[in-house]
């Protein structure tokens, strides 16, 4: 909006108190226009409304005081090359000091006899109490200091731009440009939702008069953000649907029914609902963009298999992208027998595949002779071409970047896209907002799944834990032992997989102990994992390479060393490696949380 030659789009240099130098400083903060400055809100506030007397000051407090400068001293310390300005201040009853470091020019302002309002932290270093580096304001002789006692905003700052300068600039912007801010919400809507006026809310967030007013202003501006975001996303989704090339209509048919009949288990209600939502999307000619979210072990892979079958029912190809070689091979071993039993070829495509096998798989996909591919990033390569891709499935989608998923999707003309995750981490939630994704959630687990028991184990109970593990693995069960590092570090006091492997190999020599980490050659990784799956190894010492998707039903124990070093999503995934069979499973956290936040995270998990 424009008024009297002013506009919210005016550069900040037109605001009182902003010259070329400050314009550059504000640009570093992302503030380039008057509107930017209006919406450049404080990071926090300082309550300066209560005036303290000098004789009441206590060490550690942050206070406002009104006093008169009695004397001033400027000196230089050669040891640290600091300029120290010390003011002796008095309120008529008591004395105190105010000290500033490296503030040239203060001695020209804080002249003996002037009245000042100071705000800062109280320290005691012998002699009178001291305010260290306080903010101050010069008061006129007849000025009531209580008028300056306010809730002061503290803005995100940059070098060369003080809080005092920022407050003057924002005050000038509010005075000159706030009247130009239009109220775009109808009065009846604001009244019904009890929303404050937008201009009043902006002023209140800069200079709150009360906590209640600040909360009302914050509520109004939060509403604006959500409302505008959702409106924009609705328009974006509509445009995406209007402009996207038509996708193949792939309703479920004979192959889906046969696949359901061959499954060795009945689908849960959550799986049935998710499959129905996916089939409804794939039956349309608008491309499906759906997120399938479900806890570890909820059966997302079985639902993905049904989506592949729907593509085959329609004469199209399907591709299944996994983030790791281990997980891709596991999906291939699990899904390919079912696919081939129905009369279709299924190819595994990974970076470790011999050149001849990879070339044969790529030729089959390009000709259409191979209708299903399961693989890793090799599916994204330029040499991998699909004849008629109908559905693209991405497992553990948060492990792939936006460009990688786009490259995968572009393997088909307009395929249906299904992405899956076991962990609703913030990035996943962001994609549901920004990525045009519909969401299906599998909330239930198969009836045979027994909840995993999770316990923290202090260092003094390590021997008891080892005895428990030995008892269980001698009974035929298996154990994962996760470490945050591969090898010992001189700088980090953390458990290393190689050192723990050496210790456990001695303790469990007759039971078989394996070591798995990302630096091992691929052939060795496959052998170790295969031996663990077959039972030739009872204990697997590993880094987080087993975090995603590895499925060994006989594994009932998960030990995580230095658990505070892992995020909640990682711990969630690691715990999901056990509890996949019919026996009770356990997750033991070796953790000594040193901070309240770490303790809270472990307790929540």
Phi-psi region of 50 (alpha: psi -120 to 50; beta: other; left: phi over 0): beta
The gap from C-alpha 441 to its chain's centroid, in whole angstroms, comes to 20
Asked if residue 90 has pLDDT above 90, the reply is: yes
At 455 the three-state DSSP class reads strand
Asked if residue 448 belongs to a domain, the reply is no
User: Per-residue pLDDT averaged across 478-503, rounded?
Assistant: 77
Residue 49 is predicted with a pLDDT of 81
229 and 259 in a single domain? The answer is no
Number of structural domains (the chain) is 4
Residue 22 lies in a domain: no
**What phi and psi, each to the nearest 5 degrees, are found at residue 376?**
-105, -150
Tokens in use for 341?
């039993």
Task: Return the percentage of the chain with pLDDT > 70, whole number.
Answer: 90
Structure letter (DSSP) for residue 476? T
Q: Which tens digits make up the pLDDT trace of 522-564?
A: 788 888 888 898 889 999 999 887 755 567 889 999 999 988 8
269 with 191, same domain: the answer is no
Q: Is it the case that residue 434 has pLDDT exceeding 60? A: no
pLDDT, residue 244, reads: 67
Rounded CA separation 49/61 (Å) = 14
Same domain for 206 and 328: no
Same domain, 419 and 275: yes
- 516-to-396, 482, 497 alpha-carbon distances in Å: 21, 10, 8
Q: Are 468 and 461 in contact (CB under 8 A)?
A: no
User: Is residue 4 in some structural domain?
Assistant: no
407 in a structural domain: yes
pLDDT, tens digit, 9 for 90 and up, residues 214-235? 999 999 999 998 888 778 777 7
State the pLDDT at residue 474: 92
Model confidence at 319, pLDDT cuts 50, 70, 90, reads: very high
Structural element, H or E, at residue 313: helix 300-313
**323 and 347 in contact (C-beta within 8 Å)?**
no
- State pLDDT tens for residues 185-204: 999 999 999 999 999 999 99
pLDDT (0 to 100) of residue 426: 55
> For all residues of the chain together, what is the average pLDDT?
86
Predicted confidence (pLDDT) per residue in 368-415, tens digit:
999 999 999 889 888 899 999 999 999 876 666 555 666 777 787 889
Inform me whether the pLDDT recorded for 594 exceeds 80.
Answer: no
Q: For residue 473, what pLDDT is reported?
A: 92
> Which has more pLDDT, 600 or 93?
93
In the structure, what pLDDT confidence band is assigned to residue 428 with cuts at 50, 70 and 90?
low
Identify whether residues 270 and 406 lie together within a single domain: yes
Looking up residue 121, the CATH number of its domain turns out to be: 2.40.50.140
| 31-40, 100-109, 358-367: range with lowest mean pLDDT | 100-109
Q: Give the CATH number for residue 323.
A: 3.40.50.300
Give the end of a domain, one of 124, 149, 174. Answer: 149
Residue where a domain terminates, one of 410, 442, 474: 442
258 and 239 fall within a common domain: no
Same domain, 539 and 423: no
Give CA–CA dist 54/128, Å, rounded.
10
pLDDT at position 471 is 93
- The answer as to whether 514 is a domain residue is yes
pLDDT digits (tens, 9 = 90+) for 125-144: 877 889 999 988 888 777 67
pLDDT at 603 over 60: yes
Please state, in angstroms and rounded to a whole number, the distance separating the CA atoms of residues 73 and 85. Answer: 6
Give a yes or no: residue 567 inside a domain.
yes
Q: H helices of 29-162, where? A: 34-38
Strand pairing class (416-421; 44-47):
unpaired
Is 173 within a domain?
no
12 confidence band (pLDDT: 50, 70, 90):
very high
Length of the chain in terms of residues written: 605
Check pLDDT > 80 for residue 437: no
Claim: this prediction has a pTM higher than 0.85: no
Q: Are residues 239 and 262 in the same domain?
A: no
Both 86 and 221 in one domain: the answer is no
For the segment 321-343, what is each residue's pLDDT rounded down to a tens digit?
998 888 888 899 989 999 999 99
Q: Which of the listed residues 396, 415, 442 is the one where a domain comes to its end? A: 442
- Please give the average per-residue pLDDT across 578-594, as a whole number: 85
What is the C-alpha to C-alpha distance for residues 560 and 558, in angstroms, rounded to an integer?
7
Mean pLDDT along residues 273-293: 93
Q: State whether 476 and 535 are in the same domain.
A: yes
In a domain, 177, yes or no: no
Domain limits for position 131: 52-149
Cα separation, 395 vs 307, whole angstroms: 13
Q: Give Cβ neighbours of residue 551 (< 8 Å, ≥ 6 apart).
A: 330, 334, 577, 580
Q: How many angstroms separate the CA atoms of 334 and 374, rounded?
A: 11
Q: Record the tokens describing residue 510, joined without a space.
A: 């007759």
Look at residue 432 in the predicted model and tell me its pLDDT. 56
Give residue 212's pLDDT band: very low, low, confident or very high (50, 70, 90): very high
205 & 336 share domain:
no
Q: Give me the pLDDT at residue 177, please.
A: 94
Task: Note whether 231 and 261 are same-domain residues.
Answer: no
**pLDDT tier, 80 (very low <50, low <70, confident <90, very high otherwise):** low
Q: Tokens 């509403």 label which residue?
A: 223
């Amino acid at each position: 909006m424009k008024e009297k030659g002013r506009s919210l789009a005016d550069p900040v240099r037109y605001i009182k108190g902003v010259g070329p130098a400050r314009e550059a400083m504000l640009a570093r903060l992302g503030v380039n226009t008057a509107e930017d400055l209006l919406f450049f809100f404080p990071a926090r506030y300082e309550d300066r409304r209560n005036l303290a007397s000098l004789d009441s000051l206590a060490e550690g407090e942050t206070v406002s005081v009104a006093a008169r400068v009695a004397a001033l001293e400027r000196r230089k310390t050669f040891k640290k090359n600091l300029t120290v300005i010390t003011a002796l201040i008095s309120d008529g009853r008591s004395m105190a000091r105010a000290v500033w470091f490296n503030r040239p020019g203060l001695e020209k302002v804080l002249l003996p006899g002037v009245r000042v309002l100071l705000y800062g932290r109280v320290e005691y270093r012998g002699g009178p109490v001291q305010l260290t580096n306080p903010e101050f304001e010069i008061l006129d002789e007849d000025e009531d200091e209580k008028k300056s006692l306010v809730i002061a905003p503290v803005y995100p700052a940059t070098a060369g731009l003080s809080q005092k300068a920022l407050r003057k600039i924002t005050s000038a912007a509010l005075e000159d440009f706030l009247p130009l801010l239009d109220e775009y919400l109808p009065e009846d809507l604001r009244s019904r939702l009890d929303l404050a006026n937008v201009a009043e809310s902006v002023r209140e967030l800069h200079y709150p008069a009360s906590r209640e007013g600040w909360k009302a202003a914050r509520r109004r501006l939060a509403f604006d953000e959500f409302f505008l975001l959702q409106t924009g996303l609705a328009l974006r989704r509509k445009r995406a649907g209007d402009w996207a090339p038509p996708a193949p209509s792939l309703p479920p048919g004979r192959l889906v029914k046969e696949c359901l009949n061959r499954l060795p288990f009945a689908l849960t209600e959550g799986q049935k609902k998710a499959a129905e939502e996916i089939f409804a999307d794939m039956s349309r000619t608008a491309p499906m963009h759906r997120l399938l979210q479900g806890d570890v072990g909820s059966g997302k892979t079985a639902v993905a298999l049904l989506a592949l079958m729907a593509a085959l029912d329609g004469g199209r190809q399907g591709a299944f992208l996994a983030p790791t070689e281990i997980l891709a091979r596991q999906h291939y071993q699990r899904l390919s027998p079912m696919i081939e039993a129905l009369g279709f070829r299924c190819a595994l495509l990974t970076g470790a595949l011999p050149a001849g096998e990879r070339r044969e798989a790529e030729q089959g996909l390009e000709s259409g002779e191979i209708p299903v591919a399961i693989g890793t990033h090799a599916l994204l390569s330029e040499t991998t071409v699909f004849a008629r891709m109908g559905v693209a499935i991405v497992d553990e989608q948060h492990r792939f970047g936006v460009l990688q998923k786009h490259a995968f999707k572009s393997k088909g003309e307009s395929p249906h896209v299904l992405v899956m995750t076991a962990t609703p981490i913030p990035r996943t939630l962001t994609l549901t907002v920004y990525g045009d994704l519909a969401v299906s959630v599998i909330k239930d687990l198969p009836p045979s799944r027994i909840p995993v028991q999770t316990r923290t184990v202090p260092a003094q109970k390590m021997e008891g834990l080892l005895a428990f593990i030995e008892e269980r693995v001698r009974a035929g069960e298996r154990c994962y032992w996760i470490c945050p590092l591969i090898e010992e570090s001189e700088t980090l006091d953390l458990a290393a997989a190689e050192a723990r492997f050496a210790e456990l190999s001695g303790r469990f020599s007759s039971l078989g102990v394996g070591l798995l980490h990302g630096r091992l050659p691929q052939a060795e990784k496959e052998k170790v994992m295969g031996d663990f799956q077959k039972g030739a190894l009872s204990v697997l010492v590993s880094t987080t390479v087993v975090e995603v998707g590895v499925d060994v039903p006989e594994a009932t124990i998960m030990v995580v060393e230095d658990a505070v070093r892992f995020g909640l999503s990682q711990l969630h995934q690691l715990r999901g490696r056990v509890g996949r069979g019919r026996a009770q499973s356990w997750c033991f956290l070796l953790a000594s949380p040193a901070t309240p936040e770490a303790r809270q995270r472990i307790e929540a998990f």
